[in-house]
Chain A
């Protein structure tokens, strides 16, 4: 971070005008101004040299070396304007003179070269006083903040408390107390006495009179016993000009944080150290230095930066305990200034279903350490902490925020549930008294629920506390002792049997399927069914006839002929798909003729019917030869019809 050099706003009290070139009656014009002639030791006198010329800009003047003063070059500005067709350049060179001895001194003339001519001022008389503050100052003093008030003559050897501390081991470029009056660091707090959790603002301010670059903390502060909320570092440091003991400084707050004490007692803050780099321009040790310190080169090309480490003194803070008087029962250490509200997400709920109670605390104080206000005892209600969220708002010099606690209440019995007001107590350090805030009372209607089972709170906590097993090392497991096949490996041994079994089962299933399919078809085609079954009936009839062949009784002969007629009629009617009872001999003859049967067969059939009718209805007896003839006729006709169907 760059600081521009402060421009000295000197009040002109003394001026010389020199004219050494008669041809330039007006230009060049050189004006030298001191802001005072009476000054104390350590205070500054500001010197401004203004050169107005028609030609090129003036070279930076050399100040004469004076033992009683230390001189610093504090800045240069230049501008140009058009006047009567000519370009007029105006250059101003600013210096600060710090007297270091009491008495009356004469500051010797200053020489300046303009357009090849050397101009010379007159000498000036100064009165140096011994005590600071006796000489008149035109700037305002630094406003007092807290206890580390910047007062008195900071760069002098008499240091006020709370300013510099020289570390035991000094880093390279370390600036000890009073060693460099042009730059110093100050760490200060807005209060040194506080209550626990009361915000204390700790600020690091850098004061400089030189072109300075802040490079951060080389040693971080050591702060114990506090909750720390650090303000974010701004992209560009705010800076302002302050006057301390007659000297102008640019001040920048390089770090700011809020400390919340966590308990009563005495605390000591070690502030750490800050690293900066400063552009050095104040010495002209030789010709080359002066050459490179010229305003042209001072445009950052050849400037010389010197690193410095700045320290400041430790800070003591006293934290008082909370007063015991009027301390509320539910007070749990909140300190600050807060508002408190509470809401429920529903007013009607089923048994064992959750109601969310939201408690919100908002205000100024340590939001992060706020604890959930205690809830009043609720019978037959399971209470679970659901969620906690906080939002921090960092304002200029304090920390504000909002913290929300969500609590799930699970009523276990139906009926009316009354949640009494929830109380939140805090200590207000400004008023130095306790305040208790309350939510409204909540009335919840609990309806009978599904009776869901929920794990008791205690069991849940126990489950949450249980840790998993931690594997300490990895290796292979030990060998197996039993030479045993897995179940499916064993079954695999019989894979072949399984395959054969499946094949047989498939075949059987297929046969059954086809058989039943055929049966279904036959059920719908009676003619086909009769045709298929007819041969079987013929075979059965022939078997019965064969048995009756040997029996020569009248009844047996009649039975024989009856079976023969029935068998043949059955077969023929099945082939013709007509009823056996409606079958006549001419129909049979016709059917046989259609099938191309020989006349002999037809004649044989006629004889068969005549013979059978005679035996059955007239009681005519037949011999074995006739029986065989009847049997053969049945067989021949059925075979003949089977072939020619």
Chain B
């Protein structure tokens, strides 16, 4: 009986459906959204996220609610969170692109073309997905290899072992590239305007200004300041309260 309960819990988790309380909160937030009370919808979606679950659909809906209230910084941040959780969802991508197109300023991507190209290709998969695929194919390869050894290396299994190892290596390379070279922006500007300074204090001179929704790489953090870099190579120090990380 105990085994049956564990199996049922496992299957329930695999099915991807949330608990009743989360579902209720989500439905309430959606109702507020549908009735045009976007601020209230934002509050409920944020409350749902605070429970610790990170659903692409919640971030997507939250992005929509922020977009409806013209808070494009938060809208882009949440669409980006949704994209990174579910990178091939066409509606998430469409909404993200649309809100991006409404921004007044854009940063030109001056990174080497190979990195931009890699980023473009690898944006179709998330870091989580890549790491999971690495784990899955590693596990499959190890088990298959063990059987291969136990069965005194039958020739018919050799190809399977090689293919699984190759797939595992491909995803490993993808993961390494995603972490190192094809790095995605760590945070987005959520304030309407944000001054980027030459040093981590208000007394330092302002280098340039950013507007809501602009993505930044975070290279260092010191107290309440973060050293950021943009796609065009420019950088500086920005107050951490003006930006928000995609994932903490």
Give A contacts to B, CB under 8 Å: 474-495, 498-499, 501-502, 505-506, 508-509, 512-513, 516
In the complex, the answer to whether B60 meets A505 with C-beta atoms within 8 Å is no
Q: Which residue of B lies closest to A516 (CB)?
A: B149
Residue pairs across A and B with Cβ atoms less than 8 A apart, 11 shown, are: A476-B67, A476-B95, A480-B57, A481-B30, A486-B16, A486-B89, A488-B128, A488-B133, A489-B55, A512-B149, A516-B150
Which A residues touch B145, using CB under 8 A?
Answer: 509
A499–B135 Cα gap in the complex (Å)? 7
Q: Which residue of A lies closest to B45 (CB)?
A: A479
In the complex, the answer to whether A502 meets B55 with C-beta atoms within 8 Å is no
In the complex, the answer to whether B149 meets A509 with C-beta atoms within 8 Å is yes
Partner of B135, one of A481, A482, A495: A495
B window 109-168: CB within 8 A of A: 126, 128-129, 132-133, 135-136, 138-139, 142-143, 145-146, 149-150
Chain A nearest CB, measured from B34 CB (Å):
8
A494–B128 Cα gap in the complex (Å)? 12
In the complex, the answer to whether A489 meets B139 with C-beta atoms within 8 Å is no
Main secondary structure of the interface of B (DSSP, over half): helix
Main secondary structure of the interface of A (DSSP, over half): helix
Which A residues touch B10, using CB under 8 A?
Answer: 494
In the complex, the answer to whether A477 meets B91 with C-beta atoms within 8 Å is yes
Which A residues touch B247, using CB under 8 A?
Answer: none
In the complex, the answer to whether A502 meets B139 with C-beta atoms within 8 Å is yes
Q: Which residue of B lies closest to A494 (CB)?
A: B13
Give B contacts to A, CB under 8 Å: 10, 13-18, 22-23, 26, 30, 33-34, 55-58, 60-61, 64-65, 67, 85-86, 89, 91, 94-95, 98-99, 101, 126, 128-129, 132-133, 135-136, 138-139, 142-143, 145-146, 149-150
Given A480-B91, A483-B55, A501-B139, 16 further pairs, Cβ under 8 A: A476-B67, A479-B34, A480-B60, A480-B61, A483-B58, A485-B16, A490-B15, A490-B16, A491-B132, A491-B136, A492-B132, A494-B13, A498-B135, A508-B146, A512-B149, A516-B149
In the complex, the answer to whether A509 meets B143 with C-beta atoms within 8 Å is yes
Which A residues touch B143, using CB under 8 A?
Answer: 505, 509
Q: Which residue of A lies closest to B63 (CB)?
A: A476
In the complex, the answer to whether B56 meets A483 with C-beta atoms within 8 Å is no
Which A residues touch B150, using CB under 8 A?
Answer: 512, 516
| Given A506-B142, A513-B149: A478 touches B132 (CB 8 Å cut-off) | no
Chain A nearest CB, measured from B44 CB (Å):
12
Which B residues touch A494, using CB under 8 A?
Answer: 10, 13-14
User: Taking each of A475, A492, A494, A513, which has the highest tally of chain B beta carbons within 10 Å of its own beta carbon?
Assistant: A492
User: Taking each of B55, B94, B101, B138, which has the highest tally of chain A beta carbons within 10 Å of its own beta carbon?
Assistant: B55
A509–B139 Cα gap in the complex (Å)? 11
Give me the 8 closest cross-chain CB pairs, A-B, nearest first.
A485-B16, A509-B146, A480-B57, A479-B61, A477-B91, A490-B16, A483-B26, A476-B95
In the complex, the answer to whether A498 meets B132 with C-beta atoms within 8 Å is yes
Which B residues touch A486, using CB under 8 A?
Answer: 16, 56, 85-86, 89
In the complex, the answer to whether A483 meets B98 with C-beta atoms within 8 Å is no
Q: Which residue of A lies closest to B15 (CB)?
A: A490
Q: Which residue of A lies closest to B65 (CB)?
A: A479
Partner of A493, one of B13, B23, B61: B13
In the complex, the answer to whether B98 meets A474 with C-beta atoms within 8 Å is yes
In the complex, the answer to whether A490 meets B61 with C-beta atoms within 8 Å is no
| Given A498-B132, A505-B139: A487 touches B149 (CB 8 Å cut-off) | no
In the complex, the answer to whether B16 meets A489 with C-beta atoms within 8 Å is yes
Q: Which residue of A lies closest to B29 (CB)?
A: A479
A549–B23 Cα gap in the complex (Å)? 76
In the complex, the answer to whether A477 meets B94 with C-beta atoms within 8 Å is yes
A486–B16 Cα gap in the complex (Å)? 7
A481–B94 Cα gap in the complex (Å)? 17
User: Taking each of A478, A490, A509, A512, which has the highest tally of chain B beta carbons within 10 Å of its own beta carbon?
Assistant: A509
Q: Which residue of B lies closest to A497 (CB)?
A: B10
Partner of A489, one of B33, B61, B99, B128: B128
In the complex, the answer to whether A479 meets B64 with C-beta atoms within 8 Å is yes
In the complex, the answer to whether B149 meets A483 with C-beta atoms within 8 Å is no
Q: Which residue of A lies closest to B61 (CB)?
A: A479
Which A residues touch B61, using CB under 8 A?
Answer: 479-480
Q: Which residue of B lies closest to A508 (CB)?
A: B146
A475–B10 Cα gap in the complex (Å)? 39
Chain A nearest CB, measured from B210 CB (Å):
23
Which B residues touch A484, using CB under 8 A?
Answer: 16-18, 55, 57
Chain B nearest CB, measured from A522 CB (Å):
16
User: Taking each of B22, B65, B135, which has the highest tally of chain A beta carbons within 10 Å of its own beta carbon?
Assistant: B135
A476–B126 Cα gap in the complex (Å)? 23
Which B residues touch A509, using CB under 8 A?
Answer: 142-143, 145-146, 149
Which A residues touch B85, using CB under 8 A?
Answer: 486, 489
In the complex, the answer to whether A502 meets B94 with C-beta atoms within 8 Å is no
Which A residues touch B149, using CB under 8 A?
Answer: 509, 512-513, 516
Chain B nearest CB, measured from A521 CB (Å):
15
A485–B82 Cα gap in the complex (Å)? 11
Chain B nearest CB, measured from A507 CB (Å):
9
Which A residues touch B86, using CB under 8 A?
Answer: 486, 489
Which B residues touch A481, using CB under 8 A?
Answer: 30
Q: Which residue of A lies closest to B139 (CB)?
A: A502
Chain A nearest CB, measured from B134 CB (Å):
10
A260–B174 Cα gap in the complex (Å)? 66
| Given A477-B95, A516-B149: A483 touches B132 (CB 8 Å cut-off) | no
In the complex, the answer to whether B60 meets A483 with C-beta atoms within 8 Å is no
Which B residues touch A487, using CB under 8 A?
Answer: 16
A253–B130 Cα gap in the complex (Å)? 77
A482–B98 Cα gap in the complex (Å)? 23
| Given A483-B57, A516-B149: A502 touches B142 (CB 8 Å cut-off) | yes
